Amino acid sequence: MVITDFLERNARLFGGETALVEINPSEERDRAVTWRDFSLIESANPDAPYRRALSWKDFDRRANRIANLLLSRGLERGTKVGILLMNCLEWLPLYFGILKAGCVAVPMNYRYSSEEIKYCLELADVEVLVFGPEFVERMDAIAHDLPGVRMMFFIGPDKPAYTEDCCKLMNYCSSSAPPVALEEEDYAAIYFSSGTTGFPKAILHNHRALVSSCQTEQNHHGQTRKDVFLCIPPLYHTGAKMHWFGSLLSGSKAVLLRGVKPEWILRTITEEKCTIVWLLVPWAQDILDAIESGRIDLKHYYLDQWRLMHIGAQPVPPSLIHRWNKIFPHHQYDTNYGLSESLGPGCVHLGVENFSKVGAIGKPGYHWQARIVDEQGHDVPQGEVGELIVKGPSVMLCYYKNPEATAEVIKDGWLYTGDMARMDEDGFYYLVDRKKDVIISGGENLYPVQIEDFLRRNDKIKDVAVIGLPDKRLGEIAAAIIEVKEGCTCTEEEINAFCKELPRYKRPRRIIFDQIPRNPTGKIEKPVLRDKYCGERLVEAQTTN
């Protein structure tokens, strides 16, 4: 079985039912339309945020048209096709069309600069690129300096001269399934690592891994045809797409919301009757802050059908979930742990039945194994900190064209995650920190996540990141960069007094008030903070000397 089989089954069994909805609160209706043959528009209220919908039958037909367009241009099995689009109704049909053609889908981060786009296109050997209007300026800068890209398709109005109109061309192509026999071991997709530790790596997966990810997701969250999944994170990332795979497997509706304002999220959940919502930490924080400040009154929303809120992509502060549970006590909750190298969420997860273990990332997921090991690869005693390693059916094939980096992280079938963790007496895993983020201060190992979780208990703190700064005497010191909640004031003295509950060696030696940068998947961009403040610290040290 391959991943496109599920789409074809849904088109056959549930063809007229809604598969995807796009809600775009910030766009006018006319500007949001891009499919020229689009006919299935549902909007009961013309004053509501703009809404477009796609049935399972039309989803499959559009994927077939894309596949047949690519094949008509001579693309062969294994050709790499890049996707550079914001979340939209066109995204998933394009992705599945690429796969149906036997090609390899290469989703790209929509925050990439021109230089990063060029780097990733060349790294993944992309020959065809499909992009949208938000990227014209960035593509203009590099379009004539991409020797490996032999054709570019555009989705949207005002097509650049160096591209072809994808929507117009696909209308001339057959909506029947293309004559391509896919197999489980065929290459399916290349995803890019988040790049929080340097330039992204290209991560290669096959169809078997995608199918397994579907099965893991539905096993964990029990999606049925009655569920409606609200997808807000970017589809280029494995997390968002692989959580949507539960909807694909169950044949249920999913809603793509193009916006993260708390009001938009709650309104969409109300109007679309969403039952499952996957949030990133900052969005959950914003929703709680808006409710607790009185800016949002829950009586204006209908949320009774909302059964599951789950979070992943970064460490989740237990204090955040306990706050959430006070406001939404009827919600099931799950934490999902995964990497792009393990094809997104699920290799470890908490489980909705284990709320008493909030703070843990959980136990090995469906069809997964996990261990905690020392530098020699030996299991550490229960309770001690080591590196988390995982093994399962969705471990990447390799870092594309990088055998040295692959050998560093895959050993005897085990994927070395680079995350430091410990296991409690009940077999639950707790993330301690990224291996590369550990601060060694005066010979003591400091784990920033532990300090961050403590600081988030302070009611004035919206977000916090702890990094190591160079220190002549101790080697490194812990610095806490703190983002204060709107309307609050906070001083360094207050934070130092608050931290007296911590052991002395764990207390931040420097307090900095600033905004916390996060990437589109919610991860704190600590390299940005290190670049900003480590250099500043070095200048201070040189001046002192």
- CA–CA gap between residue 213 and residue 394 (Å, rounded): 7
pLDDT tens digits, residue range 503-522? Answer: 787 889 999 999 988 876 66
Please report whether residue 24 resides in a domain: yes
Domain boundary among 157, 188, 218: 218
pLDDT band at 411 (very low <50, low <70, confident <90, very high): very high
CATH number of the domain residue 513 falls in: 3.30.300.30
Are 481 and 421 in contact, with CB atoms under 8 Å apart?
no
Mean pLDDT confidence for 344-357: 90
Please report whether residue 47 resides in a domain: yes
Please report whether residue 137 resides in a domain: yes
- Beta strands at 253-257 and 228-231: parallel, antiparallel or unpaired: parallel
Please report whether residue 96 resides in a domain: yes
For residue 4, give the H/E element and its range. helix 3-14
Domain boundary among 218, 236, 252: 218
Are 89 and 253 in contact, with CB atoms under 8 Å apart?
no
CATH number of the domain residue 123 falls in: 3.40.50.12780
Domain boundary among 195, 218, 241: 218
pLDDT surpasses 50 at 196 = no
Please report whether residue 372 resides in a domain: no
Q: Which amino acid appears at position 469 of this protein?
A: L
- Number of structural domains (the chain) is 2
Please report whether residue 428 resides in a domain: no
pLDDT tens digits, residue range 53-106? Answer: 999 999 999 999 999 999 999 999 999 999 999 999 999 999 999 999 999 999
- CA–CA gap between residue 135 and residue 18 (Å, rounded): 29
Please report whether residue 336 resides in a domain: no
- CA–CA gap between residue 190 and residue 103 (Å, rounded): 11
Are 320 and 218 in contact, with CB atoms under 8 Å apart?
no
Are 50 and 283 in contact, with CB atoms under 8 Å apart?
no
pLDDT band at 34 (very low <50, low <70, confident <90, very high): very low
Share of the chain above pLDDT 90, in %: 67
pLDDT tens digits, residue range 492-504? Answer: 999 999 998 887 8
pTM for this entry = 0.82
Domain that holds residue 169: 3-218
Mean pLDDT confidence for 120-133: 97
Please report whether residue 356 resides in a domain: no
- CA–CA gap between residue 270 and residue 27 (Å, rounded): 20
